[in-house]
C-alpha cells in the first residue's frame, strides 16, 4: 500500500518527488545509542558496554567522511530507541519511494514512526510493509549497482513473503537469498554489491541454492570473496559511493584487495557500533537513486 502526498497521480496539488543532485544519505546521531538488549549474537556480552562519547567520536568520523563524497541529512535520535543510529534498517529507498520496515523485534519497532514521519515530510512516497511479514530495509534488501534488480534475504529477520511485496513497489525483479548463520543475521553483513559490477560477499553465510544464484549473477572475476575472519570484522558492511568505499577497520588485507580493484578505501574506527552488531553501512540510509551516477563514476573503478 502506498501512502503519502502522491497516493494517486491524479491528486491535485502535485508535488515533485525529492530530487538529488548528489548521492544523498540519511544518518541518525548516536545520542541514545547503547546495547540495552540482545537481539543478535554480537550484542551478547556487550550489554551497556559501548561508551557514548567514543561512539559519538566514531560516528562523527564516518559522518565527516561521508560528507566528503555525498550529501548527508540528519534524523533526530529518540530516547528509548538505542538502535536508531542503525538507520539503514528502517527503510529501503529508490526513486523517491520508501519501503518502510516492519522490524522483527519490538525493541526496534519504535524506530519506524519517526522515520516514516521524516520521509513523509521530505516528500517521499511511503510503501507500507505488513507487520506480520517482517522486513528490515537495507539490512536485508539491496539493489545491485545499476538499480535493476533487488537482492533480498530471509532466514533471520526478514520474512521471505515480504520480498515480492517490497520489489513490487518498484516493479523490479527480486532474487531471494537464504541466510543460514545467525552471526550474519542481515544481508548487509555478508553481501555488498559494489560499483563496477563487483560483489563482495561471505559465502559461508548462505545456503547452497543462494550461492548458485549469486554465481549465476556475478562472473568469478567480479566476486570478491571475504573470509570468515573478515566477515566477523564487518568487512562486508561498507558504504560504496562511486569508487569510494567507507568501512570499519578490518585487520587483514581486505582494503588492499579492494584498492587493487580500483576502489579508494577509507577505514574508520567503528568498534562501539560493532558491539551492537553493525558497522559503516548500517549507519547510513541511501536516499538518492541507485544506478544514477551524479557525475561520480559508478562504472568501472579506475585501476
Ligand atoms: N542492534 C542492531 C540490530 O540487531 C544492529 C543492527 C546492525 N546490523 C547490521 N546489519 N549491520 O538490529
Mean pLDDT score, 65-91: 95
Answer for the pair 59, 30: CB distance below 8 angstroms, yes or no.
Answer: yes
Please tell me the predicted confidence (pLDDT) of residue 148. Answer: 86
Residue 11 has pLDDT above 60, yes or no: no
Please tell me the predicted confidence (pLDDT) of residue 15. Answer: 63
Three-state SS at 88: helix
**Cα of 44 to ligand 1 centre, how many Å?**
13
- Between residues 243 and 12, the one the model is more confident about: 243
Q: Which residues contact 186 (CB under 8 A, 6 or more apart)?
A: 89, 136, 139, 140, 153, 156, 157, 179, 278, 282
Residue 293 has pLDDT above 80, yes or no: no
Query: Which atom of ligand 1 sits closest to the CA of residue 39?
Result: 4
Please tell me the predicted confidence (pLDDT) of residue 299. Answer: 44
Confidence of residue 53 (pLDDT cuts 50, 70, 90): very high
Q: Give percent above pLDDT 90 in the chain.
A: 72
**Cα of 281 to ligand 1 centre, how many Å?**
10
Comparing C-alpha atoms, which of 118, 140, 143 is closest to residue 129? 140
List of domains in the chain: 5-286 (3.75.10.10)
**Cα of 283 to ligand 1 centre, how many Å?**
9
Average of per-residue pLDDT values in the chain: 89
Indicate whether residue 189 lines ligand 1 (CB < 6 A).
Answer: yes
Please tell me the predicted confidence (pLDDT) of residue 206. Answer: 98
- Phi–psi pair at 233, nearest 5 degrees: -100, 25
**Cα of 277 to ligand 1 centre, how many Å?**
5
Cell of 20: 538529488
Probe ligand 1: pick from 30, 37, 59, 83, max atoms within 8 Å of CB?
A: 83
Neighbours of 130 (CB within 10 A): 13
Q: How far, in Å, CA of 140 to CA of 172, rounded?
A: 16
Mean pLDDT score, 34-53: 89
Indicate whether residue 34 lines ligand 1 (CB < 6 A).
Answer: no
Please tell me the predicted confidence (pLDDT) of residue 220. Answer: 97
Confidence of residue 1 (pLDDT cuts 50, 70, 90): low
- Please report which residue ranges of 122-263 form alpha helices under DSSP H: 137-140, 161-167, 208-217, 228-232, 254-260
Q: Give percent above pLDDT 70 in the chain.
A: 90
Q: What is the pLDDT of residues 102-152, one digit of tens each?
A: 998 998 999 999 999 999 999 999 998 888 889 999 999 999 988 889 999
The DSSP result for 155-189, as a single string, is SSSS-THHHHHHHTTTT--EEEEEB--GGG-SGGG
Please tell me the predicted confidence (pLDDT) of residue 34. Answer: 86
Least confident of 39-48, 66-75, 174-183, 281-290: 39-48
Q: Which residues contact 155 (CB under 8 A, 6 or more apart)?
A: 178, 179, 180
Residue 98 has pLDDT above 90, yes or no: yes
Indicate whether residue 278 lines ligand 1 (CB < 6 A).
Answer: yes
**Cα of 276 to ligand 1 centre, how many Å?**
6
- DSSP β-ladder status, 24-27 and 71-74: parallel
Mean pLDDT score, 253-276: 96
Least confident of 4-13, 96-105, 154-163, 201-210: 4-13
Query: Which atom of ligand 1 sits closest to the CA of residue 105?
Result: 12
Answer for the pair 69, 296: CB distance below 8 angstroms, yes or no.
Answer: yes
Q: Which residue has the cell 540528519?
A: 74
Answer for the pair 139, 155: CB distance below 8 angstroms, yes or no.
Answer: no
Confidence of residue 225 (pLDDT cuts 50, 70, 90): very high
Least confident of 49-58, 211-220, 290-299: 290-299
Please work out, in degrees rounded to the nearest 5, the angle formed at the alpha carbon of residue 63 by the alpha carbons of 194 and 296.
Answer: 40
Please tell me the predicted confidence (pLDDT) of residue 212. Answer: 98
Indicate whether residue 162 lines ligand 1 (CB < 6 A).
Answer: no
Amino acid at each position: 500500500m502506498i501512502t503519502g502526498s502522491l497516493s494517486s497521480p491524479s491528486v491535485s496539488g502535485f508535488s515533485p518527488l525529492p530530487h538529488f543532485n548528489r548521492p544523498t544519505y540519511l544518518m541518525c546521531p548516536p545520542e541514545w545509542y547503547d546495547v540495552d538488549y540482545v537481539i543478535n549474537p554480537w550484542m551478547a556480552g556487550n550489554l551497556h558496554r559501548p561508551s557514548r562519547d567514543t561512539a559519538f567520536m566514531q560516528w562523527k568520523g564516518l559522518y565527516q567522511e561521508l560528507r566528503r563524497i555525498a550529501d548527508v541529512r540528519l534524523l533526530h535520535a529518540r530516547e528509548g530507541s538505542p538502535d536508531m543510529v542503525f538507520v539503514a534498517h528502517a527503510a529501503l529507498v529508490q526513486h523517491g519511494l520508501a519501503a518502510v520496515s516492519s522490524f522483527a523485534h519490538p525493541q526496534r519497532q519504535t524506530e519506524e514512526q519517526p522515520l516514516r514521519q521524516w520521509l513523509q515530510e521530505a516528500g517521499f512516497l511511503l510503501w507500507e510493509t505488513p507487520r506480520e511479514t517482517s522486513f528490515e530495509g537495507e539490512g536485508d534488501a539491496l539493489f545491485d549497482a545499476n538499480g535493476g534488480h533487488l537482492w533480498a534475504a530471509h532466514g533471520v529477520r526478514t520474512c521471505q513473503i515480504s520480498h515480492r511485496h517490497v520489489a513490487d513497489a518498484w516493479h523490479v525483479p527480486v532474487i531471494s537469498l537464504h541466510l543460514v548463520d545467525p552471526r550474519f543475521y542481515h544481508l548487509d553483513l555478508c553481501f555488498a554489491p559494489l560499483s563496477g559490477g563487483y560483489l563482495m560477499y561471505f559465502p559461508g553465510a548462505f545456503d547452497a541454492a543462494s550461492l548458485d544464484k549469486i554465481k549465476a549473477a556475478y562472473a568469478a572475476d567480479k566476486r570478491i570473496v571475504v573470509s570468515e575472519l573478515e566477515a566477523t570484522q564487518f568487512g562486508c558492511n561498507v558504504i560504496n559511493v562511486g569508487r569510494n568505499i567507507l568501512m570499519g577497520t578490518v585487520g587483514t588485507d581486505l582494503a588492499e584487495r579492494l584498492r587493487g580493484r580500483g576502489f579508494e578505501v577509507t577505514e574508520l574506527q567503528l568498534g562501539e557500533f560493532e558491539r551492537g552488531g553493525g558497522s559503516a553501512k548500517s549507519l547510513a540510509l541511501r536516499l538518492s537513486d541507485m544506478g544514477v551516477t551524479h557525475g561520480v563514476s559508478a562504472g568501472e573503478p579506475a585501476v
